Amino acid sequence: MSICGGRVKFINTAVLIVCFAMLWGCGGSNVDETPASDAPAEEAASSGVMVVNPNLAGADELGALPGMSKALGDSIMAQRPFLGMDALHSVVSQHHGEEEVEKLYVQMFIPINLNTASEEEILLVPGVGKKMAHEFEEYRPYTAIAQWRREMGKYVDDTEVARMEQYVFVPIDLNTATEDEILAIPGVGKRMAHEFEEYRPYSSMEQFRREIGKYVDDGEVARLERYVEIRP
């Protein structure tokens, strides 16, 4: 019995040695030769990233973001609402360097208007370079986010389109938008969606400002106005 046990032990040891040699010969030693990248584009591509809107997040939520300093968090809370990424970026860049800013935008961003955003704003979207920024602009004007999804789907897969969609929007028509489309506006709940619909048809943006201004302050009206339009 002891002899058999010794043979089994010997065989197992030999197998381990052979397996190790095979791994080494096939590049097993190269596993760590490609270090994990810290590039924001790769971080943004990871699944399950929740993008926080700094106009809506609480102080604790902002403070919990990786790379968020107390000074920057306080500045954001004091100066919001920001009416675009360019306005936010001017504040963020005063507190952090370019690399830190890029990483922060993976998880904190104000959606940009696909029809009016400058190239500089588009390039702030994590993982979007010059080539993709050109494609964003190529198909303007967009009438619906579904159109943008279809066009971008020519260049990247569905997962990447869904990831980028967290950072962009197409304004909806105040007079024809469905309740679901209205509820997709950041910070709009059932009650506010009802008020959006209550005053239809809108003949001007001034009318929208006046009616919605009955429920929220001027800063919030301006923030909401970014997401809507009145089409002919």
Domain housing 149? 40-169
Mark whether 93 and 199 lie in a shared domain: no
Mark whether 144 and 74 lie in a shared domain: yes
Mark whether 113 and 189 lie in a shared domain: no
Mark whether 157 and 184 lie in a shared domain: no
Mark whether 110 and 146 lie in a shared domain: yes
Query: Residue 45 to residues 129, 185, 216: CA-CA distances in angstroms?
Result: 14, 23, 36
- Specify if 94 maps to a domain: yes
- Specify if 147 maps to a domain: yes
Mark whether 135 and 208 lie in a shared domain: no
- Specify if 28 maps to a domain: no
Mark whether 57 and 165 lie in a shared domain: yes
- Specify if 3 maps to a domain: no
Mark whether 158 and 176 lie in a shared domain: no
Q: What is the CATH number of the domain that holds 215?
A: 1.10.150
Per-residue pLDDT for the chain (232 aa), expressed as one digit of tens each?
443 444 433 334 433 333 333 333 333 333 233 333 334 444 444 446 799 999 999 999 999 999 999 999 999 999 999 999 999 999 999 999 999 999 999 999 999 999 999 999 999 999 999 999 999 999 999 999 999 999 999 999 999 999 999 999 999 999 999 999 999 999 999 999 999 999 999 999 999 999 999 999 999 999 999 999 999 9
- Specify if 79 maps to a domain: yes
Mark whether 57 and 163 lie in a shared domain: yes
Mark whether 178 and 223 lie in a shared domain: yes
